[in-house]
A and B are shown apart, each in its own frame.
Chain A
């Protein structure tokens, strides 16, 4: 069983049919594509004039007394039209986080309080009387060979990509959070440089609009895996971990509406599955096992992989991503200049290439 919800609502003149996959879905796009009609059909569905087929209860949320209605609703699909007055309120965001319902929100506004996925932003596709949803941003990675990369923050993802760039802080920058990535891009004055934006797509929905607008002015490419933790989980590091593989093969079965975002789920998963091991994952300060080559040349490490760790994580994306320019040290950068500007996390600072051989007893854990 998975948690994808199939919805079909129809009259003699109109048919809407689509799937809802995550707890928050956003529908926007051009005017006059039938978005408000969908909301009205849900609101007025009576089984006679308007038929609604869905395993879960579908509710059209009004602006008045919405909190009372939401408090009494569970395991439902809540539809919200663009006139909903509380849409941007923190109170509404708290209800969404704790409700256990699915939310389908018709809006063009930037909803900074809600962590929705780039993949769950849709436009209405109309063909005669048939209406369906089409992803606005279907691709999580764009073909590129970037000159520089910008990550959403200074955490583990940044440290990983900085390692990819051979610790060249002119090639790998970080923003003060995903909602500030656009500021970092604007600070890059050279509009010809190819800039790779690396961010967790699972919660990037409210920020994608600004980045797409900046693509008109800057040479921007996007790399938006679900999250950095997902990037590690999908690599060969965890290919023998049955729990992780089951989740990756059928995420909709495991990531229920109890999780505010897939990003949080994958973070919890990798922390849980690596806890109390030498490859324990933390968001702040990446474990060097995920970036440095194996320290014991003759035996596999706890992650059961020898070789370039960066390649192991990213190889599934090499049909689109080329990191030649990022990985090759430019002639202007000396070892001294890199160490002056980069302040390594404690894990980097204390890492040793000589590992206690007794830790290999843990390799069967994965």
Chain B
């Protein structure tokens, strides 16, 4: 695949395949001791919590889970905590291995709004092979334009 220059100002998903120094490996610890309550007021956060955790945000300290009942943000799944950190703390490098395939569409949605930096230790399913996917592999600067590009790069580097 060709190496292309990122367009100036273009929002991008930056993926390090494997681990990266400085990444937030333990999402649970970082989120539980650093999250802001008002994050749960964000409509996109509420959508992610509903879709991934099947839970409804009632207020920023009250969430209803179909399995656990009334919970707090600390009881959310590791995957949705990682997504919230991608959205609310974009300077972080989050470890997207904490996210299952059911989080991949939300990673792409957040990356369409702002730059997102993730490290990834498995071949996440970002959709069908021909789907558009704009990303840069930070290991060697490879530009990803489709899910197929990503799949073969991940196979090569992981």
A213 vs B25: C-alpha distance when bound (angstroms): 25
Interface residues of B in 65-109 (CB under 8 A from A): 67-69, 76-80, 97-103
* Residue ID in chain A nearest B77 by CB atoms: A32
Residues of chain B contacted by A217 (CB below 8 angstroms)? 129, 148, 151
A128 vs B65: C-alpha distance when bound (angstroms): 11
Contact B27 A83 (CB under 8 A): yes
Contact A31 B122 (CB under 8 A): no
Interface residues of B in 116-158 (CB under 8 A from A): 121-123, 129, 148, 151-152, 154-155, 158
A110-B151 contact given A31-B52, A31-B80, A31-B100, CB 8 Å threshold:
no
Contact A31 B77 (CB under 8 A): yes
**At the interface, yes or no: B20 with Cβ under 8 Å from chain A?**
no
* Residue ID in chain A nearest B98 by CB atoms: A82
A29 vs B79: C-alpha distance when bound (angstroms): 11
Residues of chain B contacted by A182 (CB below 8 angstroms)? 155
**At the interface, yes or no: B115 with Cβ under 8 Å from chain A?**
no
Residues of chain A contacted by B78 (CB below 8 angstroms)? 31, 36, 82-83
How extensive is the interface on chain A, given as a class? Answer: 20 to 34
* Residue ID in chain B nearest A82 by CB atoms: B98
A85-B67 contact given A108-B100, A109-B122, A209-B123, CB 8 Å threshold:
no
**At the interface, yes or no: A30 with Cβ under 8 Å from chain B?**
yes
Q: Contacting B67 at CB < 8 Å: which of A83, A129, A186? A: A129
**At the interface, yes or no: A100 with Cβ under 8 Å from chain B?**
no
Residues of chain B contacted by A85 (CB below 8 angstroms)? 25-26
Contact A209 B122 (CB under 8 A): yes
* Residue ID in chain A nearest B49 by CB atoms: A32
Residues of chain B contacted by A37 (CB below 8 angstroms)? 68
25 contacts between A and B (CB under 8 A): A13-B69, A14-B68, A30-B100, A30-B101, A31-B52, A31-B78, A31-B100, A32-B52, A32-B102, A36-B77, A36-B78, A82-B78, A82-B97, A82-B98, A83-B25, A83-B28, A108-B122, A110-B122, A110-B158, A182-B155, A209-B122, A210-B123, A210-B155, A210-B158, A213-B155
Closest 7 CB pairs of A and B: A31-B79, A83-B26, A109-B121, A32-B77, A30-B100, A31-B100, A30-B102
List chain A positions with a Cβ less than 8 A from chain B: 13-14, 28-34, 36-37, 63, 82-83, 85, 88, 107-110, 126, 128-129, 182, 186, 209-210, 213-214, 216-217
List chain B positions with a Cβ less than 8 A from chain A: 19, 25-29, 52-54, 67-69, 76-80, 97-103, 121-123, 129, 148, 151-152, 154-155, 158
